[in-house]
Structure 1
């Protein structure tokens, strides 16, 4: 199986979904937007009245998942085909249904999809277990911040995970990324720009928010550009960031 080959047949196994913020887009200054204008996001926020883990479990139980595209993220399909991403071991935290996990998985790259929701992991396993590249990925129901894997990762991909976390957890997010990456590992972030809104999830989110918590740990941006392959509702509202850390930084 060639690198990126899963993407072609994956399309036949997925279904259209409404993306977060896809109804009545409202753009703020600088190309950002307020997802709270989407009624589905409003329903999601109503589930977060206490424990965050319970809120995510309820969102999957009740089918309130406005961020779920129902297919792989287009730019991930492109990067998987391009062969420019690190091979080896990859991690996708907050993987949900796992479409990006499957798109990234190949004989050259084993991918771990992590989600705190048991229901999300159950659904991901149900639809993907018989796929041709199923030997190259796995799904685990774990807390990203507490999980200790047997090995570190060459690549970590974050999309709609950082922005879904309460901002008080962002330093811990960066520290966990730093701990899980190999010395020469890469963090790939698809940054959904959000500003001038109240509450979350998703929470206000800028490139500077990532820089603030990653750079003190030695993770430096080697690429930051507009996501030209963003889905229509998010056009002009996403940045692709690729981050590398210094080999002398702390690890597991």
Structure 2
């Protein structure tokens, strides 16, 4: 998925609490009747982006401020307008944000251009599944991306994560929406769904906790997972 503004009005403050019953989400899903790649671009063009807080994700800034965010090269797929990329970038972290929407990447570049961290950010309009970085990453952050792809693609998602993450690198997953919501995107997720695709390729879960810093509308449906890549896979 990407990231723009679902908290800018009273109606939008419903966020994804109702999912399919939320008019913004229902309208967004209608754009995916055809090609999904085109659907994401249309979402951005029409302002139907009910997954973005309009600011950095609180749990990520908390981890940064408390010294609990790994350093090095960081990758955020489905970064949208780039709030999280800009927030955690700096001399200790070069952050690559990727989104399939050119409109999203244009907005992200505009956002980062006024930031003192601009030189530590890179934004790419590309397909996650075909993206080939020049170097492996120390940390990958996934939020509103795993839930955005068709569930049949989750094994391919895990393989790609494993391919571009360094041995002993860390994967951070902010798991939402946990539950049995029908349809998508966003598609329902669960901890076992992550384990099913990550464990067989050498990832070990280090921690899974409720996200106490989730926005009110997402509390109880969002968990933070930390995973360690225990052995190398294919190299670039």
TM-score norm. by structure 1 comes to 0.87
Partners of 1:84 and 1:49 lie apart in 2 by 41
Give the unaligned 5+ runs of structure 1.
1-13, 27-33
Partners of 2:230 and 2:80 lie apart in 1 by 30
Contact persistence 1:111–1:138 (CA under 8 A): yes
Contact persistence 1:116–1:144 (CA under 8 A): yes
Change (3 A) 1:231 1:79: same
Residues 84-116 of structure 1: CA distance to partner in whole angstroms, max 9, x if unpaired? 221110000000010000111010000000000
Q: Provide the alpha-carbon RMSD of the alignment.
A: 2.0
3-state SS of the aligned residue for 1:101? helix
1:237 corresponds to which of 217, 221, 232: 221
Map 1:1-252 onto structure 2 (within 5 A).
Answer: 16-17=7-8, 22-23=13-14, 34-252=18-236
Partners of 2:218 and 2:169 lie apart in 1 by 28
TM-score norm. by structure 2 comes to 0.93
Equivalent residues, number? 232
Contact persistence 1:16–1:71 (CA under 8 A): no
Mean alpha-carbon deviation: is it higher for 197-206 or for 16-25? Answer: 16-25
Contact persistence 1:125–1:139 (CA under 8 A): yes
Mean alpha-carbon deviation: is it higher for 242-251 or for 43-52? Answer: 242-251
Mean alpha-carbon deviation: is it higher for 192-201 or for 118-127? Answer: 192-201
